[in-house]
Structure 1
């Protein structure tokens, strides 16, 4: 891997400083759990962040693990997804579980 130049280090520092001051506090940024990250990524496809946040929290309260989601009925999953649009995403994340 190439050594970062002084310019790239300056840019990196500036970006991190900006993010520290202006970055949004989003719930999926505070986890390393692959399931939670997957849920956020799928929900955020074609959907605005502010619309996703309450659905993300409700989803994880209802199905906190892949195993819990796998045990859910497809109908329940689609109902919980209702309002996010593109219900095919709900079906696919359920199938992935």
Structure 2
């Protein structure tokens, strides 16, 4: 005799979003519920968080945004200023790629809105492109 299949209802996307809004981890780069995420903040946080803890990134993220509030400001900055703001986070190739990527985005006028477009930018691989596109 075969047992009847258990009735498991899967949560709807809307239910998951409501749960997330209630229980989300508050981080400075995450948009508030009901607010569209800022691609610059999402991208910046994803690059900073590569091989670096959230606790270490938080103060750098805040200082970086004070110094470079937009992708255009970051793109226009001298490389020495970017490297100086990054000092202490390690993996300095991330900072060089961040600067090159900012220049490419500023030149294009906006961040690409597809994973494929994001992957064409300096320093953005498959995982980071997927994370940025998903958020």
TM norm. shorter chain > 0.5: yes
**1:38-77 to 2 correspondence within 5 Å?**
38-77=43-82
Q: Deviations over 1:14-52 (max 9, x none)?
A: 89648734x321011126111111100000010000100
User: Number of residue pairs matched?
Assistant: 91
Gap regions ≥5 residues in structure 1: none
The alignment status of 1:7 with 2:19, answered yes or no, reads no
**Greater share of helix residues, 1 or 2?**
1
Gap regions ≥5 residues in structure 2: 1-6, 103-135
Q: Match of 2:99? A: 94
Bigger CA radius of gyration: 2
Show structure 1 runs of 4+ deviating over 3 A.
12-19
Q: Match of 2:40? A: 35
TM-score by length of 2: 0.59
TM-score by length of 1: 0.79
